[in-house]
Amino acid sequence: MKILVQLNRIREEYKESLEKVRTTAELNDWKASYLGKNGKLSVILSALKELSLEEKKAAGSSANEIKNEIEKFYASYLKKLASESYLKKIEKIGDPTLPSVFLLKGHPHPLYKTMREIIGIFVGFGFDIALGPEMEDEYHNFTALNFPESHPAKEMQDTFYVNSPSGLLLRTHTSPVQIRVMANSSPPLKFIAPGRVYRHEAVDASHSCVFHQVEGFCVDKTANLSDLKSILEIFVCRFFKKKLKIRFRPSFFPFTEPSVEVDVECLMCGSAGCRVCKNSGYLEMLGAGMVHPNVLKNCGINPEEFQGYAFGLGVERFAMLKYNIDDMRLFYQNDIRFLRQF
């Protein structure tokens, strides 16, 4: 019987053709080529009606057997393909049932932490916060701050000029923010100005060419040197959470008169002398003084009526002393073994 021969051929062939199937789409095509509307088996099944009852019985049962086998193979192959594609995905992403890899959690940089702490203490003392640009002009960075034309800080060796003819430069300190605030508002004023500053100078354990300062200034009718001294003493005590030896040294800044430099005992060596404090037992932490009358005048404030104090502290130096870091360069090297300790 011709139909039985055809059925036998299908039976021999469908498993072989299944071996070539690689994807679900190919598997669907494979099934359709036998059981689809015009599939090989469907065509045979529709021709059964032409046969005698006996022949119909024999061919029909054989055709149904083949149909069931194809359905069974289809279902199990579909499962196999699905699990293969799952395994491929797993290979790509790794086994999700394994314990997770230890992921480092980020945290604030020690300088940022120090800056935040310093700001917090001064805000607690009633200081507002002002910000200024890092790219400044000569007027705000030097002239209005009473720097004489020939001051060495204005030399190219000390200042990074952005574009010399236009007089733009990277600010060498946060003091220009004093000018910007005083020129735009009237006393009483009590501000801090945190930020990054730049100096064209040699880098060593306690000097960087990019570092951070927090400027502070207070202008009103009575602000005086004694207020400045107590504010700084209380600040140092709060920041280090203990009373440290502080030294006020007479100094010079064009924008303050009188001027002082404030040193704090070196905790690195317990004041015995080390490379960080250059064997002096003290670390220079900030500059300060009473705002020079010329600076007030430059900002339209009458020095006969108002007076004020100002200071500018080095954030890196405070962080070094607090965390016992003997080299400032560690802050900028992004060595995870260092940063992880904070």
Q: How far is the CB of 282 from ligand FA5 (least distance, A)?
A: 11
For the chain, strand residue ranges (E) read 128-129, 135-137, 161-163, 168-170, 189-198, 210-220, 246-253, 256-265, 282-291, 307-314
Sheet architecture: strand order including 282-291: 128-129, 189-198, 210-220, 307-314, 282-291, 256-265, 246-253
Per-residue binder mask for ligand FA5 (CB under 6 A), 316-335, x = binder: xx------------------
Q: How far is the CB of 276 from ligand FA5 (least distance, A)?
A: 12
- Identity of the residue, 58 or 203, whose beta carbon is nearer to ligand FA5 in the bound complex: 203
Q: How far is the CB of 217 from ligand FA5 (least distance, A)?
A: 7
- Identity of the residue, 41 or 256, whose beta carbon is nearer to ligand FA5 in the bound complex: 256
- Identity of the residue, 211 or 239, whose beta carbon is nearer to ligand FA5 in the bound complex: 211
Q: What are the CA-CA distances from residue 81 to residues 15, 27, 73, 289 (Å)?
A: 16, 9, 12, 80
- Identity of the residue, 127 or 211, whose beta carbon is nearer to ligand FA5 in the bound complex: 211
Q: How far is the CB of 91 from ligand FA5 (least distance, A)?
A: 51
Residue 286 within binding range of ligand FA5, rule CB under 6 A:
yes
What is the dihedral angle through the alpha carbons of 254, 259, 264, 265, rounded to the nearest 10 degrees?
110
Cα separation, 242 vs 115, in Å, equals 19
Question: Three-state DSSP class for 81?
Answer: helix
Q: How far is the CB of 185 from ligand FA5 (least distance, A)?
A: 18
Kindly state the DSSP code that residue 241 receives in the 8-state scheme.
T
∠ CA 179-191-231, rounded to 5°:
120
Q: Which two tokens stand for residue 136?
A: 């400044």
Residue 146 within binding range of ligand FA5, rule CB under 6 A:
no
The stretch among 5-13, 36-44, 124-132, 211-219 that binds ligand FA5 (CB under 6 A) is 211-219
User: Cβ contacts of residue 210 below 8 Å, gap of 6+?
Assistant: 196, 197, 198, 332
**H/E element holding 65?**
helix 53-93
- Identity of the residue, 182 or 310, whose beta carbon is nearer to ligand FA5 in the bound complex: 310
Per-residue binder mask for ligand FA5 (CB under 6 A), 242-281, x = binder: -----------x--x-------------------------
Tell me the residue nearest to ligand FA5 as measured from the CB: 314
The stretch among 10-18, 200-208, 268-276, 296-304 that binds ligand FA5 (CB under 6 A) is 200-208
Q: Which of 110, 187, 195, 287 lies at the binding interface for ligand FA5 (CB under 6 A)? A: 287
The contact set with ligand FA5 (CB under 6 A) reads 173, 175, 199, 201, 207-208, 211, 213, 215, 253, 256, 284-289, 310-314, 316-317
